[in-house]
Amino acid sequence: MSDFTMPSMGADMEAGTLIEWKVQPGERVSRGQVIAVVDTAKAALDVEVFEDGIVEELYVEEGTAVPVGQALARIGDGQGKHPEPPREKEKEKEKEKEETVPEPQAPASAAKPATPEPAPSARRAESTTGRPDTTAPPVSAKSKPMASPAARRRAREAGVDLSALKGSGSAQSIVLADVDAAIGRQPSAKPRSQEMRQDMRQAIAAAMSRAKREIPHYYLDTTVDLHAAETWLADYNRERPPESRLLMAALFAKATALALAKHGDLNGHYEAAGFQAAESVNLGLAIHLRGGGLVAPAILDADKLALPELMRQLQDLVKRARSSGLKGSEMSQGTATLTNLGERGVDTVIGVIHPPQVAMIGFGRPRRQPVALPDGIGVHMSVKLSLAADHRVCDGHSGALFLNEIDQHLQTPEAL
């Protein structure tokens, strides 16, 4: 048995708000299953459980802000008792104090007033002392209106009370259309978008201030000839339908992931005990959100993915990041981050490292420019590639070798 605690989904996260439980007591769960949705300053995230077992108790009600590391639920085998969290222990102590106070005894000759027979539910609630059990019941799905996750997110952003709505979905559950209709009927309801953007800017400010204050950055950049990559990509996409084609961004991501796998001093975390190289390459992708702000979820084991699968995951990650559908593991397990601002028209991006990572890799805008060739001058598609790295872990020599590794992979795209 163990307690499932509020996970840390970023170095700058101190607490999260439990939005929704996806499970109820008595349900069996398996490792990797999403059991809750947590709202952080940056996004609403699906939180997975890290072990198989049975949900024995939910400690926290929906809508509660919970510090990182505090117990949210108990996962066990469904058989035994687990030590109760401090909150429950305090309740039990108060209950024991109440039970030690002697009750006044009525005289033997006094007539006992007639009392109605307690309802079956009340009889079940009586404790061994004969008193009603006043401890709070476990969190239950019956205490909240049934609603889809999308409806809950929209209602939260727009300030709509779900308990006041009548659902039109199956079993009268509330769906997104019900919330949109309620927003239309309540012109005075103000979206929380401005407040959410402010919270995100504060979270980004805290993380980036810490990064610039604590991490001794060094910076390198180089120009990569993309002629081979562009030619191969055109050939690859020519006979494929649009949904199966690759973008240059997939080649950038795969080349970076392979280089990180070889240069482990740029792939990992620097924390209180020093640098710890990661065993896998979980490539973070800096994604701009339409409402403002930035998140950097990771593609896990990116170096081992074939290009079509990497392309699919990249598109899926961007889509879910912009619809509040990211998983906690994607936000917390990144080992290095790639930022690509080429679509914004900038030639070079010099990033700030996302702690506790030690490297930020940047790609600018691919564009045609003169290049020196063995037999003269040519015009090739090229891109500016940059690196911001932690000087506590490696030096410019290692960083240069890393950038050269990315360059070499992009010269042989057929091997990616």
Which CATH number goes with the domain that contains 369? Answer: 3.30.559.10
Q: Domain for residue 359, yes or no?
A: yes
- CATH number of the domain at 167, please: 4.10.320.10
**Per-residue pLDDT tens digits for 304-340:** 999 999 999 999 999 998 887 888 888 889 999 999 9
Task: Decide if 122 is inside a domain.
Answer: no
Output Rg (C-alpha) for the chain, integer angstroms: 28
Is the same domain home to 216 and 347? yes
Q: Which domain covers residue 382, as residue numbers?
A: 209-415
pLDDT of residue 192: 52
Question: Percentage of the chain with pLDDT > 70?
Answer: 78
Domain assignment present for 68? yes
Are the beta carbons of 128 and 99 closer than 8 angstroms? no
Question: Is residue 306 in some structural domain?
Answer: yes
Confidence category of residue 290, pLDDT binned at 50, 70, 90: confident
Which residue, of 125, 152, 185, is where some domain finishes?
185
Stronger pLDDT, 136 or 248, i.e. the higher one: 248
The answer on 164 and 22 residing in a single domain is: no
Q: How many domains does the chain have?
A: 3
- Which two structure tokens, joined as six digits, stand for 166? 């009548």
Flag whether 135 is in a domain.
no
Summarize pLDDT for 353-367 with one digit per residue, the tens.
Answer: 999 999 999 999 999
User: Is 103 domain-assigned?
Assistant: no
Q: Which of 10-14, 46-50, 373-377, 390-394 has the highest mean pLDDT?
A: 390-394
49 with 180, same domain: the answer is: no
Mean pLDDT, rounded, for 130-151: 56
Torsion, Cα of 65, 68, 69, 74 (10° steps) = 40
Question: Is 183 or 287 the better-scoring residue by pLDDT?
Answer: 287
pLDDT at residue 368 in the model: 94
* Residues 178 and 223 both lie in one domain: no
Same domain, 333 and 234: yes
**Does residue 188 surpass a pLDDT of 80?**
no
pLDDT for 68 equals: 85
Of 18, 42, 76, the domain-final residue: 76
**234 with 370, same domain?**
yes
Instruction: Please tell me whether residues 307 and 388 are part of one structural domain.
Output: yes
In a domain, 310, yes or no: yes
Confidence class for position 123, pLDDT limits 50, 70, 90: very low
Q: Are residues 272 and 319 in the same domain?
A: yes
Give the domain-ending residue among 26, 51, 76. Answer: 76
pLDDT tens digit sequence for 98-115 = 444 444 444 444 444 444
> In this structure, are 262 and 381 located in the same domain?
yes
**pLDDT by residue (tens digit) across 35-67?**
888 877 667 788 888 888 899 888 888 888 888
- Supply the pLDDT for residue 143: 53
| pLDDT at residue number 179 | 84
Q: What is the pTM of this model?
A: 0.69
Are residues 214 and 181 both part of a single domain? no
Same domain, 290 and 362: yes
Residue 395 lies in a domain: yes
Q: What CATH code is carried by the domain that includes residue 35?
A: 2.40.50.100
Would you state the pLDDT for residue 35?
87
Q: What is the pLDDT of residue 195?
A: 65
State yes or no: pLDDT of 70 exceeds 80. yes
Instruction: State the pLDDT confidence band at 122, using cuts at 50, 70 and 90.
Output: very low
Can you tell me which residue has the tokens 């398996």? Answer: 30
The answer on 240 and 175 residing in a single domain is no
